[in-house]
Amino acid sequence: MGTEGLRFTREHEWVRLEGSSAVVGITDFAQKKLGDIVFVELPETGKQLSAGEALGSIESVKAASEIYCPVAGSVGEVNSELADSPGNINKDPYGAGWIAKLTGVSSADVGKLLDEKAYQDLIAGEE
Amino acid sequence: MPFIPHNEAERAAMLQVVGAASLDDIFSHIPAALRTSGLRLPPALSELELLRHGGELARRNQASGELVLFLGAGAYDHVIPAAVDELSHRPEFYTAYTPYQPEISQGGLQAIYEYQTMIASLAGLDVANASLYDGATAAHEAVLLAVHHTGRRKVLVDGAVNPRYRSALRSYARNLDIELVECAAGAEGGQSAGLVDETVAGAVVQLPDFFGRLCDFSALADRLHRSKGLLIVVLNPLATAVVKSPGEMGADVACGEAQPFGLPLSAGGPYLGFIAARNSLVRKLPGRLSGATVDGQGRRGFVLTLQAREQHIRREKANSNICSNQALCALRAAMFLALLGRQGLREMAEQCLAKTAYAKSLLAAIPGCALQLDGPGFHEFVLKLPAPAERVFSELLGRGIAPGLPLGRHYPDMQDCLLICVTEKRTKAEIDRLAAELRACLGR
Amino acid sequence: MTVELLFEKSQPGRRGYRLPALDVPAAGAGQLVGADLRRGAEPTLPELSELDVVRHYSALAGRNIGVDTNFYPLGSCTMKYNPKVNEAFAADPAFLNVHPELLSECGQGTLAALHGVERMLSEICGMAEFCLWPAAGAHGELAGMMIIKAYHCSQGACRRKVIVPDSSHGTNPASAALCGYDVVTIKSAADGQVDLAALAAAMDEDVAALMLTNPNTLGLFETRIAAVAEIVHAKGGLLYYDGANLNAIMGVVRPGDTGFDVVHVNLHKTFATPHGGGGPGSGPVGVAARLARFLPTPYIREAGGRFALQSDRPDSVGQLMAYTGNVGVILKAYAYLRMLGAQGVRRVAEHAVLNARYLCSRLKERYTLAYDQPCMHEFVMAGLTEPNGVRTLDVAKRLIELGMHPPTIYFPLIVHEAMMLEPTETESKQTLDEAVGKLLQIAEEAQADPQKITGAPRNTPVGRLDEVRAARSPDLVWKP
């Protein structure tokens, strides 16, 4: 799955707005840096999070990274398939590798995140 | 210079390659103001002189063959098979580094995997790590695990947990947002059960407890689980060769001191902290873990795994800062367990039980003496004396017997009590002699 | 060719070590431990003969390498030769059989040696007093952080932050965090040393300490250390010395003389006690005079040639372990220091640096030197100058094939494709030349035949292992 219509954070999360819900994952750049992902720590459903708060974490063999909540919201659903198949994040970071769905988000908040071009500029700078 | 192989010609050739005029010159980029003019250290000894000096120092220790130890209290005098010393001194084991390059460390990694298996099994739990420093620091790591797992800050600590461990727990907790609530010592976790609620991350109890008693903590485990807390049992793993294990009681974490497995008393260390836990907690375990996997050709091999938990990857977000552990001590413990084996370890534990029962019967019969806090126990018990325990302790020590630990050192209202330990190493003659010496000392 | 596990070799009824026959009435566990307290399932312990066990561990030893068998230039680890006389010294039964509760009464010889180590470490580091009990370097770091916190709290403001450079070893920020501090990481300057401007910007009166290694983890001496100390001390902060790299400057520079207030050393690195496959080590912590009252208990008091363990230090950060640390390890460091003497200590640093600089000079044509400055006892290379797709990991595996333990790889984190080499002073010119030969051979192969490297190692009991599988589906204990 591709990156059309997604927004991005400086910490390499992506967000897809679906009404007043937001699907969250990590970008292709992030998954490449981590390498083969071995474990994902998912948040509890129902948890209230503000922007920038830790939503969970991702471990590979040689690295670990926090996932930060991109916009304020409540955890509606988590991708429980990642428990058995954490590699989905590597294989399909924008599709089957989604991590959590937040409810009660503000589309204005999502709009304030980086668009695709701004995110590409960001990672070009980091490479 | 000992251990430095260079001769003059080699040194000169190397200095030329690096472009330095002399050995002093290689430090020339260090500001002169920072450099020292010289150290005052004792003059260098040759190997022969060093060993002579070592002999003199050793003679200043009380000659080991003459002191009979009925003293335990956390460090125990057990048999150590000769093969343990021999095998653990193989240079490929003891001069190796941490097995970060698994292809050339399969020996060490497999040995750790086997050790993890045996310790986890003795604790009755699913997994164990590759070692921690000692029992006290292992208890602290267990407290950290409970706090991180539950997100709560309060931990109950039973008063019958080793006082030295409790002291260490306090030292560490003081700097963290952790509240240790010390509960009065009692049977089955004492006061702890009544204090369990949703603010409690876990409770720490000990098996056998510091007074040598065995209890079943199943009820306490249930109470904790109902409010999603963890039961941590500080364990003497030798006991669970015959005694119900923490896992069988519903504990979530077992930790403690595995020094009884092949490690000499050695004035306090190196010892062997261990930690074991249920599978659900494996990603929160501190320290190294050896895991089985396969190589490209399907051959079984072992690697350090789940490293993303550790400090070299998580840095300030790691749950523990441990790097070096007690690897060679864990190797000795594994060798010990392999040499004793299933039957041998059970027999060793049973001999501790039998000899302790014999000692109890002899000593309780001394007029004025009485067993305290009596009940099912392993290899330690409390004897109340009709005299200050410190006086009796000093007198008997002077006569070549360490009769136990004067409990007044840790429990102010027990000034007349000794904590006596009888391991499989104590002969009937030695136990008879303890009884006779005590009688004589007490004038009974 | 696998070596079967102990449990896979087990034969029912086979016995190893035998205890003497029971000489007191046998009551049996059944009578003494009631059914309600008896163990249910049998523990997973093997049944083997002594010969089975000896063959097993001999086979395992054959699948391991150590300093005694191979060159082991792991940067940051100081894999120097472990003198056998130290083992003999420490193995005296009179040292081994002392119960820790009886140390003052029955361990005067042990205490004399421990006290000797404490004095010698204080002299070498320029500190007022050491506590020997921390069981490892990371433990010493934690103890140091506890002392620093106790000091600041006694001054009226506990302070909440600790600064570490981005090149620091992971134990530094981890230890600070485990003492309740917030960690601030500052970027190193272009020359690899502490960036004074970044430090000055981060330093304020809420910073308790700066943790530094010197030489730093890049193997470079922090030549601006006086200015660094000034910035930290001016705001009332303390300077912490991670002694992992002390081997480079022993007898040449004393950390205390350069402004450090708290120091830890690694006996299993600088002081030649064996690494043991990952431990036991020992990480004594030392302090300047005004901090001595915060040192962990107990301490060793000497009076008229007699030694005692005392705990009468009301401001102490408390007890760190059940007893007195890894005494058996500390005795080996004592033996080592007694054989070196003052001159020997300095010769160690001189030759450690000479060896590293020699290796570096001979490799820097084909391997990218990360920082073109005189290195101390170790140096960092950022992989091959012409990688041709060959990574540092591949170089390491090919070195294994060629019979050498690889250097430290992928640390420090601030150097891409890092390889850190620390030969130590106990290696000869011949060994170094051989190592250079292997590394240059690999540089050639990277151009001519990279497959040879990326497929390595092929002559070891196992090849590259599936670490992803090991982490996704952890198999940590054998199940029947």
pLDDT tens, residue by residue, C286-331 = 999 999 999 999 999 999 999 999 999 999 999 999 999 999 999 9
Chains contacting C (3 or more CB pairs within 8 Å): A, B
* Chain A hits for B314, Cβ within 8 Å: 64
> HSE of C26 in the Cβ direction (CA atoms, 13 Å)?
8
Beta-carbon separation of C472 and A59 below 8 A: no
Asked whether residue B361 is domain-assigned, the answer is yes
Report the distance separating Cα C174 and Cα C170, nearest Å.
Answer: 6
The domain containing residue B351 runs over which residues?
A: 67-77+341-443
Shared-domain flag, residues B131 and B258: yes
Determine the residue of chain A that is closest to C416 in CA distance.
A127
Check residue C397 and give its pLDDT: 96
Q: Among B287, B312, B336, where does a domain finish?
A: B336
Tell me the sheet residues that pair with A74.
A48, A103
Determine the residue of chain A that is closest to C411 in CA distance.
A62
Tell me the three state secondary structure of residue C65: coil
Q: Which of B34, B4, B9, B21 is nearest to C355 (CA)?
A: B4
What is the mean pLDDT of the segment spanning B374-392? Answer: 97
Tell me the three state secondary structure of residue C448: helix
Which residues are CB-contacts of B389 (< 8 A; sequence separation ≥ 6)?
B404, B406, B407, B408, B414, B415, B416, B417, B418
Shared-domain flag, residues B255 and B293: yes
Hey, what amino acid is at C288?
Answer: A
What is the mean pLDDT of the segment spanning C20-39? Answer: 86
Check residue C28 and give its pLDDT: 66
Identify the CATH number of the domain defined by range A7-124.
2.40.50.100
What is the percent of chain B with per-residue pLDDT over 90, rounded to a whole number? 91
Does A112 reach chain C within 8 Å, measured CB to CB? no
Shared-domain flag, residues B403 and B322: no
Shared-domain flag, residues B314 and B359: no
Shared-domain flag, residues B176 and B300: yes
Q: Which of C336, C280, C315, C285 is nearest to C86 (CA)?
A: C336
Average pLDDT, chain C: 96
Q: Is the pLDDT of residue B340 over 70?
A: yes
Q: Is the pLDDT of residue C114 over 90?
A: yes
Shared-domain flag, residues B272 and B362: no
Check residue A2 and give its pLDDT: 79
Shared-domain flag, residues B351 and B301: no
Q: Count residue pairs from A and B with Cβ separation < 8 A.
A: 20
Asked whether residue B71 is domain-assigned, the answer is yes
What is the mean pLDDT of the segment spanning B440-444? Answer: 94
* Chain A hits for B308, Cβ within 8 Å: 38-39, 59-64
- Convert the pLDDT of each residue in A67-108 to its tens digit: 999 999 999 999 999 999 999 999 999 999 999 999 999 989
Largest CA distance in chain A: 37
Q: Which of C349, C75, C355 is nearest to C216 (CA)?
A: C75
Q: What 8-state DSSP symbol labels residue C101? A: G
Beta-carbon separation of A39 and C471 below 8 A: yes
Q: Is the pLDDT of residue B1 over 80?
A: no
- Convert the pLDDT of each residue in C170-183 to its tens digit: 999 999 999 999 99
Q: Which of B381, B337, B333 is nearest to B355 (CA)?
A: B381
Radius of gyration of chain C (CA): 25
- Exposed, middle or buried: residue B386 (CB in 10 Å: 0-12, 13-18, 19+)? middle
* Chain C hits for A86, Cβ within 8 Å: 472
* Chain C hits for B89, Cβ within 8 Å: 87
Q: Which of B80, B29, B317 is nearest to C93 (CA)?
A: B80
Q: How far is CA C88 from the centre of its chain?
A: 22
Report the distance separating Cα B407 and Cα C177, nearest Å.
Answer: 36
Q: Is the pLDDT of residue C271 over 80?
A: yes
Structure tokens at B242: 């015959």
Beta-carbon separation of C471 and A62 below 8 A: no
* Chain B hits for C478, Cβ within 8 Å: 113-114, 117
Asked whether residue B153 is domain-assigned, the answer is yes
Which of C391, C392, C467, C473 should we substitute to test contact with A (largest number of A Cβ atoms within 10 Å)? C467
What is the percent of chain A with per-residue pLDDT over 70, rounded to a whole number? 99
Q: Which of B128, B130, B110 is nearest to B299 (CA)?
A: B110
Q: How many CB atoms lie within 10 A of CB B230?
A: 27
Beta-carbon separation of C112 and B57 below 8 A: yes
Place of tokens 């003492």: C179
Does A127 reach chain C within 8 Å, measured CB to CB? no
User: C-alpha distances in angstroms, A1 versus A34, A83, B89?
Assistant: 20, 21, 57
Q: What are phi and psi of B419, to 5 degrees?
A: -95, 110
Report the distance separating Cα C112 and Cα B53, nearest Å.
Answer: 11
Check residue B303 and give its pLDDT: 97
Interface of B with C in 215-244 (CB under 8 A): 215-216, 240-244
Interface of C with A in 399-458 (CB under 8 A): 410
> If pLDDT is split at 50, 70 and 90, which confidence band does B163 have?
very high
Place of tokens 């200050």: B388
Three-state DSSP string of chain B: CCCCCCCHHHHHHHHHHHCCCCCHHHHCCCCHHHECCCCCCCCCCCHHHHHHHHHHHHHHECCHHHCEECCCCCCCCCCCCHHHHHHHCCHHHHCCCCCCCHHHEHHHHHHHHHHHHHHHHHHCCCEECCCECCHHHHHHHHHHHHHHHHCCCEEEEECCCCHHHHHHHHHHHCCCCCEEEEECCCHHHCCHHHHCCCCEEEEEEEECCCCCECCCCHHHHHHHHHCCCEEEEEECCCHHHCECCCHHHCCCEEEEECCCCCCCCHHHCCCCEEEEECHHHHHHCCCCCEEEEEECCCCEEEEECCHHHCHHHHHHHCCCCCCCCCHHHHHHHHHHHHHHHHHHHHHHHHHHHHHHHHHHHHHHCCCCCEEECCCCECCEEEEECCCCHHHHHHHHHHCCEECCEEHHHCCCCCCCEEEEECCCCCCHHHHHHHHHHHHHHHCC
Shared-domain flag, residues B196 and B330: yes
Shared-domain flag, residues B141 and B88: yes
Q: Is the pLDDT of residue B66 over 90?
A: no
Check residue B63 and give its pLDDT: 61
> What is the separation, in whole angstroms, between the first and last Cα of chain A?
23
Helix (H) or strand (E) holding A41: strand A37-41
- Partner residue opposite B314 with nearest CB, options A41, A60, A64: A64
Cβ burial A59-75 (10 Å sphere, 16+ → b, else e): bbbbebbebbbbbbbeb
Tell me the three state secondary structure of residue C381: strand
Structure tokens at A113: 């995140």
Which residues are CB-contacts of B437 (< 8 A; sequence separation ≥ 6)?
B396, B399, B401, B403
* Chain C hits for B260, Cβ within 8 Å: none
Do B345 and B273 meet the contact criterion of CB atoms below 8 Å apart? no
Report the distance separating Cα C199 and Cα C197, nearest Å.
Answer: 5
Shared-domain flag, residues B169 and B306: yes
> If pLDDT is split at 50, 70 and 90, which confidence band does B65 have?
low
Q: Count residue pairs from B and C with Cβ separation < 8 A.
A: 689
Q: Among B313, B336, B359, where does a domain finish?
A: B336
Check residue C26 and give its pLDDT: 86
Average pLDDT, chain B: 95
Q: How far is CA C140 from the centre of its chain?
A: 11
Is the N-terminal amide bond of C374 cis, ω within 30° of 0? Answer: no
Q: Is the pLDDT of residue B64 over 60?
A: no
User: What sign results for the dihedral spanned by CA atoms C421, C427, C429, C433?
Assistant: negative
Total structural domains in chain B?
Answer: 2
Q: Among B317, B336, B355, where does a domain finish?
A: B336
Do B190 and B160 meet the contact criterion of CB atoms below 8 Å apart? yes
- Sorted by where each begins, the domain ranges of chain A are 7-124
Tell me the sheet residues that pair with A106.
none
Which of C409, C464, C469, C472 should we substitute to test contact with A (largest number of A Cβ atoms within 10 Å)? C472
> If pLDDT is split at 50, 70 and 90, which confidence band does A5 have?
confident
* Chain B hits for A63, Cβ within 8 Å: 308, 313
Q: CA triplet C134, C135, C141: central angle to 5 degrees?
A: 50
Report the distance separating Cα C92 and Cα C90, nearest Å.
Answer: 6
Q: What are phi and psi of C185, to 5 degrees?
A: -105, 130
Asked whether residue B5 is domain-assigned, the answer is no
Beta-carbon separation of A64 and B283 below 8 A: no
- Convert the pLDDT of each residue in B303-330 to its tens digit: 999 998 888 888 998 889 999 999 999 9
Does B50 reach chain C within 8 Å, measured CB to CB? yes
- Convert the pLDDT of each residue in B133-153 to its tens digit: 999 999 999 999 999 999 999
- Convert the pLDDT of each residue in C324-352 to its tens digit: 999 999 999 999 999 999 999 999 999 99
What is the mean pLDDT of the segment spanning C142-146? Answer: 98
Structure tokens at B202: 């876990």
What is the mean pLDDT of the segment spanning B49-65? Answer: 89
User: What sign results for the dihedral spanned by CA atoms C73, C78, C83, C89?
Assistant: negative
Check residue B46 and give its pLDDT: 97
Q: How far is CA C326 from the centre of its chain?
A: 13
Q: What is the CATH number of the domain that holds B428?
A: 3.90.1150.10
* C23 phi-psi bin (left φ>0, alpha ψ -120 to 50, beta other): alpha
- Partner residue opposite C253 with nearest CB, options B35, B96, B134: B35
Q: How far is CA C174 from the centre of its chain?
A: 15
Query: Going from the N-terminus, what domains does chain C have, and what CATH number goes with each?
Result: 84-341 (3.40.640.10), 346-458 (3.90.1150.10)
Which residues are CB-contacts of C425 (< 8 A; sequence separation ≥ 6)?
B3, B4, C80, C247, C347, C348, C349, C350, C351, C352, C354, C355
> If pLDDT is split at 50, 70 and 90, which confidence band does A127 have?
low
Shared-domain flag, residues B401 and B306: no
Report the distance separating Cα B395 and Cα C102, nearest Å.
Answer: 14
Determine the residue of chain A that is closest to C413 in CA distance.
A63
Q: Helix B389-398 and helix B428-442: axis angle, to 10°?
A: 120
Asked whether residue B363 is domain-assigned, the answer is yes
Q: Is the pLDDT of residue C358 over 70?
A: yes
The beta-strand segments (E) located in C4-67 are: none
Shared-domain flag, residues B405 and B332: no
Asked whether residue B61 is domain-assigned, the answer is no
Q: Which of C395, C471, C401, C155 is nearest to C291 (CA)?
A: C155
